[in-house]
Amino acid sequence: MIHRITRVSGVRLLAAAVEARALEQEPDSLLGTLATFVLIACEELDAASEHSGAIIDVARPRGWLIALAHGSFLRAIALVRAGRMREAEADARLAFDIKLANSPPPAVIWSLFPLVDALTVPRPLIKSPDQLASARRIAGIAISSLAVARSGG
């Protein structure tokens, strides 16, 4: 028998699986990452942030930098979508800094978009020259990384 799952019921099931930490039973799988992207796309931002936070909570005390960067990256995307730019910037900056020190240029560039979003989405109460300088510095690093990647270096 085939059951029809609507978008709403599918998202509810997925959110329930995240809440129950069922996806953590497959730590070597991309299932959790894909589930987080689906939750973000469906505007289930609290569930996406919670799942990403669980990754961060496991990775940080163990010193798992790439997992910490991954969880921070995913949570930053959800936080940007939720309009929580200061929190998003902190997570995105952490993810970017870890990737910059430990990953090949394509991964560095991929990790950059939530940070750029967090720094450039209009925020009427925050208009700092330091933020503009920071965004320009980060953009320069990304451009340099892309040039290195294209040259095969």
pLDDT of res. 145:
65
Residue 18's closest CA among 41, 49, 59, 63?
49
Position 37 scores a pLDDT of 87
CA distance 53 to 86: 16
The whole-number pLDDT of residue 8 equals 67
Give the other-Cβ count within 10 Å of 64's Cβ: 15
Which of 7, 57, 10, 14 lies closest to 33 in space, CA to CA?
14
pLDDT averaged per 10 residues in sequence order, the chain, 153 residues? 59 76 72 85 88 90 93 96 93 95 90 90 60 67 64 64
What six digits make up the tokens of 20?
Answer: 């129950």
| 0.75 surpassed by pTM | no
Residue showing tokens 């240029």 = 105
Torsion of Cα atoms, 90 then 96 then 102 then 105, to 10°? 180
